[in-house]
Amino acid sequence: MIPRYARPEMTAIWEPATKFRIWYEIEAHACDAMARLGVIPQENADAVWKAKDVEFDVARIDEIEAVTKHDVIAFLTHLAEHVGSEEARFVHQGMTSSDVLDTCLNVQLVRAADILLADMDKVLAALKKRAFEHKMTVRVGRSHGIHAEPTTMGLTFARFYAEMDRGKARLQAARDEVATGAISGAVGTFANIDPRVEEHVCEKLGLRPEPISTQVIPRDRHAMFFAVLGVIASSIENIAIEIRHMQRTEVLEGAEFFSMGQKGSSAMPHKKNPVLTENLTGLARLVRMTVIPAMENVALWHERDISHSSVERGIGPDATVTLDFALNRLAGVIDKMLIFPENMLENMNKFAGLVMSQRVLLALTQAGVSREDAYSMVQRNALKVWEERLDFRELLLADEEVVAALGEDAINEKFDMSYHTKHVDTIFQRVFGES
């Protein structure tokens, strides 16, 4: 976690103090369940709650761990310092370290997912607002970076909205999938602890009992969680790349907001650089970087090894903190983004009328011209537009073969821009449920 790219609410989830608080709640709830089942005395379970308002001393736990070389044992030793050795003697009864570690991790991932889902709502709201604002703002669509046919800026925002909405649905599913806990003891057989303890702890922590654990919760759940974060990061980059392209001097159809006092370059005072979206491209790479290690964590030896542990200590906070920051930055970029409709029209008309070539091609085929001949007729005029910067419509009107097939009125009609926007309402209805 780099503080520059971190927000307090998300980083708090991964603070040692938060982790130890969750560990404590797992142990205390487990004691309650065991007391209810008659496994341990009720007074011992009650005694554990004496520490409910304690701020666990992270430095002290680290000091103990330096000797024990075991983080959970260090925590339990520190807990006994608050509760009393005799009172705490039934804490962790029949449990194994992974019961605490894995259940805690999933609590943290669920909390992180809830923040990320709220972040995505911010992005979706910004995209929807800008989509309706520029629903009919015409711009040229591009394929291979080359002018293709007219579209609208509203449709650009709408497709990003639909993509992010899919991402939110995937994240919700990933959150639900990772929301399991395991209090099943060594190798997951419940030999030394009643399954009802697991049920009680999970209920108190907002989780579901893991159907079958092998001393660890299966890591395919976590692999899917991080894979979804990676996909969302890629969607962030998809939007960022489009904005970066739009801000290029030669294009300038849109731009990041440039605040008063902001500087674009240490050397060139004229510069307005797309630094926020470039930053988002980089942050997306960092989030995706966590996906392969998460997938490699699925394959553990037998019932458990700890090759996954060091990985998750890094990728858990890194992926969620970075994505949280990126989503909030993206929402701000979209909300304040400058749009330049006049430049969009100017760019589209840079090669006058050329974007209507397909419509002329289709009209020729419908008029009885073979597709091969029609393509040749349109292309020979289109190439003159490319090479000589002439007007496409005027070239067609001067082409006797095209005029003979279509007539002048039909040729002129093919340059009506509204032809390309007639189904915008339909698309908006599909995406937003309203138009």
The catalytic site residues sit at 144, 265
Question: What is the pairing mode between strands 138-143 and 146-152?
Answer: antiparallel
Exposed e or buried b per residue across 299-326, where buried means at least 16 C-beta atoms within 10 angstroms of its C-beta: ebeeebeeebbebbeebbbbbbbbbbbb
Distance CA 424, CA 90 (A): 66
Cβ-count burial of 400 within 10 angstroms (0-12 exposed, 13-18 middle, 19+ buried)? exposed
DSSP secondary structure string for all residues of 229-253: HHHHHHHHHHHHHHHHHHHSTTT-S
- The conformational region for residue 190 under phi > 0 = left, psi -120 to 50 = alpha, else beta, is left
Token pair belonging to 299: 């394959």
CA angle 406, 412, 413 (to 5 degrees): 85
Query: 3-state class of 132 per DSSP?
Result: helix
Which residue, 100, 112, 115, 71, is CA-closest to 181? 100
Contacts of 47 (CB under 8 A, 6+ apart): 83, 84, 87, 88
